[in-house]
Structure formats: C-alpha cells, structure tokens
Amino acid sequence: MTTRLPPLGYWMGGQGSRYELNTPALVLDLDALERNIHRMAEAMRGFGRKLRPHAKSHKCVRIARAQIEAGAVGICCATLDEAEVMAANGISGILVTSPVTTAMKVSRFIELVGGAPDTMIVVDNADNAGALAAAAERAGVTASVLVDVELGFGRTGVLSVDAAEALARAIAACPSLRFAGVQAYGGHLQHSADHGARLDLCRRAHGFIRDIVARLTSIGMPPEIITGGGTGTHAIDGIEGPFTEIQAGSYVFMDAEYQDITYEDGSDWPFENALFVQTAVTSINVAGTVTTDAGTKSFALNGPKPRIATPGLSGAAYEYSGDEHGRVRLGAGMVQPKLGDRLECVIPHCDPTVVLYDAFHCVRQDALAEIWPVDARGRR
C-alpha cells in the first residue's frame, strides 16, 4: 500500500485561517513587515544614507524585492550561494559581505559577475584578490571588490590603516578588478545592550574607518562605497557614521534578542516583531503548564528563549522540553490552553531560525494571505 505525501510544510495552498497551519510553522505578519521595511527606508532617507539591507536575515526573493521597491540600492548576501539565488531571481546590486576563498567559489563568483556585472564582493587578503583577478581575467569580466575592515570582532577584515592601503593598491593593480570601496561591519557592536556603551564602541569604530578613508583619499583612491552597520547601530551609524550606506538586516523581522536591547534614548524600537513560530498544544496533563510541538528543532538556540506572543498568555515562560517539545509555564490567573490550541512565539534570533523552515506563512491579522518560500534555504 502507498500513501500520498502532503506538500512539505504547507497547508491549504496559501489561503485560509492563520490558525490552521501545519505546526510548527513560521508566521510572517505582512503588515508589520511592510511597516518595518518602510520605517528603515524612511530613516535612511532622513539620514541621507543609502540602504543595502542584509538578505541573510530572510533569504527570500520577495522580501528583497520589497526592500528594493522601498528604495534600497541592492542587497547584501552573506554567502555566494545566497547571492546566486538572489541574482537568478533578478535581484541586482548584490554585495557579498564575506570573502570567498576556495577555487570553486572564486570561479562561481566570477561566473555570477558575468551574468550580473554589478555584483560586488569583499576581500581582506591580497592573494585572494589575486585569485579573483586571475579568474576574472580568464572570463573576460571586471569584478568590483571592496576592502573588508576588521572592527574588533576578530572575524574578517584588515587590521590597520596601512593594511587597508596595501590591499586597496593591490586591487587597483589588477586590471580585471575595480576597487569599489570599503566594508566595515562590527557584529559585536550590534547587540551591545546599553546604548551609551554602543555609542562609545561605534564612535571608536567610526574613527578607525575615517582614518582609513582619509588615507585612501590621500593616495587618490577615495572609496566610492563605505558600507557597514546593522539594525542595532543603524541610527548611530546613520546620524554620525562615515558610511555611504547601511547593511541592516534583522529590522525586517526583529527578534527577542533585539527586543532586549535599549534603543537610542530608551524609547521603543521603530521596528516590530513581524516573525513568529506557531506551535500547537499537544499535552495538558501537568497543572500550570502545557506542552507544545515546538522544541529545539524549531528555534535557533543562540538567542534568548522564545517568547509567547499570544494574547492572554504573554508572560508565560517557554522552556525547551526536547527536540520536538516545548513546555510553557503559565502565569497566575492564565487560562490553560486546550489541546490543539495555537500559540505564537517571538523568535529568539531571526536569521538562524528562518533557515529551519521551508516557507513563510504570510498573514494579515487572522487570515493566511500567501506562502513565500525561503528561497535560499539549504544554500549555505
């Protein structure tokens, strides 16, 4: 006997009720998403900066398109694989924000440039620039390359003004490369919880970037693009940073991790939680708690615990109770949910949670409006 396999992760072809999804499911509130996209675009216009949002957060062509329609100059991709998916779907102005160093990826990046000539990449090493140049020359294309600058996170980038100058000169010496500017992103700056501390760290980083820009300008190589910044520092970077453009990503969704950080003056973030994991109650036998069908396979584990957003249950404490189980401890006076009831959780950390799912279930209030694939899922 054979059985028919239901479509993976989907339900009702994208129409119906928000509360009839195949749980655990990723739920995207389209109204909140649109407000977030609009607010960041407006903020950057106000600061006189361009926006090249980071698509690592969503890996979704529809969201990239919406960001560009709202005024973004292109998108950032964390990986070559992500960039290939975006370019194949007609997204332009892509910046790959991490170096690619294996021969296979170098040649794939150059192939990508052949079809999408405005695609750019960062380097932090002259040999890597040389490898890109050789591949570009063989293919008869010109590749646009930015010098990646390290801001104290210890990840990628050049460590000094002299090293930035040397690398920029090495790029300029390759006829098949175009020196496009500098990238300076500090992951450690984004989640610095206290605004005063964040401001202080940013100012030091800005000083270093300005020294590099001044040096490059003094040797006749003023960077056309100075790109960096994220959601956590977007306002500081927008108001007083050295950047021509900001790379914020998480603002489209927000998450519990960002919720825990103080915005500029202690006021609320201008961005709302737009992304939730919906889970269903599977057991109610233990007083004061319910068990749900979302456990450690359903959330990224490198953030705070998921937070219950369901009205009447906000403040109930979610705990992991195994790979496929969550335990929700109810607060005093909360009515115990029934078997099969849906609870929605604010996600702990957006980017690594998104890649656990095939699709965004896009809702407007209680209605399921559309289903969008996580297009670059499975492409690292």
Identify residue 227 by its one-letter amino acid code.
T
What does 318 interact with, of ligand PLP, Mn ion, none (CB < 5 to 8 A by kind)?
none
- Which residue in the set 82, 237, 245, 351 belongs to the binding site for Mn ion (CB under 5 A)? 351
Residue 353 binding: pick among Mn ion, ligand PLP, none (C-beta 5-8 Å cut-off by kind): none
Q: For residue 333, is it left (φ>0), alpha (ψ between -120 and 50) or beta? A: left
Count, residues in the chain: 380
Give the sign of the dihedral formed by CA 227, CA 228, CA 233, CA 234: positive
Q: Which x/- pattern, by CB under 6 A, does the window 147-186 give for ligand PLP?
A: --------------------------------------x-
- Of 120 and 313, CB closest to ligand PLP: 120
Member of 232, 238, 337, 348 binding ligand PLP (CB under 6 A): 232
Write the interaction track for ligand PLP spanning residues 59-78; mark x where CB under 6 A is met and - where it is not. -----------------x-x
Phi, psi of 282 (to 5 degrees): -115, -15
According to CB under 6 A, which residues from 39 to 58 bind ligand PLP? 54, 56-57
The single residue among 36, 231, 279, 298 that binds ligand PLP, judged by CB under 6 A, is 231
**If binding is defined by CB under 5 A, does position 257 make contact with Mn ion?**
no
Q: How many residues bind Mn ion (CB under 5 A)?
A: 1
Site string for Mn ion, 310-349 (x = CB under 5 A): ----------------------------------------
Q: Which two tokens stand for residue 305?
A: 């615990």
Give Cα 69 distance to the centre of its chain. 18
State which of positions 250-289 bind ligand PLP (CB under 6 A). 250-251
Contacts of 254 (CB under 8 A, 6+ apart): 36, 231, 269, 271, 272, 273, 274, 275, 350
Q: Which two tokens stand for residue 273?
A: 């939680």
How many separate helices (H) and strands (E) can be counted in the chain?
11, 18
CA 320 to chain centre: 25
Nearest distance, CB of residue 233 and ligand PLP, angstroms = 8
Instruction: Return the number of the residue (254 or 281) whose C-beta is nearest Mn ion.
Output: 254
In the complex, residue closest to ligand PLP by CB: 230
Output helix, strand, coil percentages for the chain, rounded to the nearest 5: 35, 20, 45
Applying CB under 6 A, does 230 fall inside the site for ligand PLP? yes
Say whether residue 97 binds ligand PLP (CB under 6 A). yes
Q: Binding to ligand PLP by residue 292, rule CB under 6 A?
A: no
* Separation CA 349–CA 57 (nearest Å): 10
Question: What CA–CA distance (Å, rounded) separates 150 from 187?
Answer: 10
Q: Give the residue with the Cβ less far from ligand PLP, 198 or 342.
A: 198
Are 172 and 180 spatial neighbours (Cβ–Cβ below 8 Å)?
no
Decide if residue 247 touches ligand PLP (CB under 6 A): yes
230 contact, one of ligand PLP, Mn ion, none, CB 5-8 Å limit per kind: ligand PLP
According to DSSP H, which parts of 219-293 are helical?
Answer: 234-240, 256-259
Which of residues 122 and 277 has its CB atom nearest to ligand PLP in the complex? 122
In the complex, minimum distance from the CB of residue 79 to ligand PLP, in angstroms, rounded to a whole number: 11
Strand partners, 208: none
Helix axes 161-172, 195-218, angle to 10 degrees: 50
> Residue count at the site for ligand PLP (CB under 6 A)?
17
Taking alpha carbons only, the member of 159, 354, 363 closest to residue 249 is 354
Q: Which of residues 186-215 bind ligand PLP (CB under 6 A)?
A: 187, 190
Question: Are the C-beta atoms of residues 186 and 205 closer than 8 Å to each other?
Answer: yes
From Mn ion, ligand PLP, none, which one binds at residue 248 (CB under 5 to 8 Å depending on kind)? ligand PLP
* Residue ranges in 279-359 assigned as alpha helix (H): 350-354
- Residues forming the site for ligand PLP (CB under 6 A): 54, 56-57, 76, 78, 97, 185, 187, 190, 230-232, 247-251
- Residues forming the site for Mn ion (CB under 5 A): 351
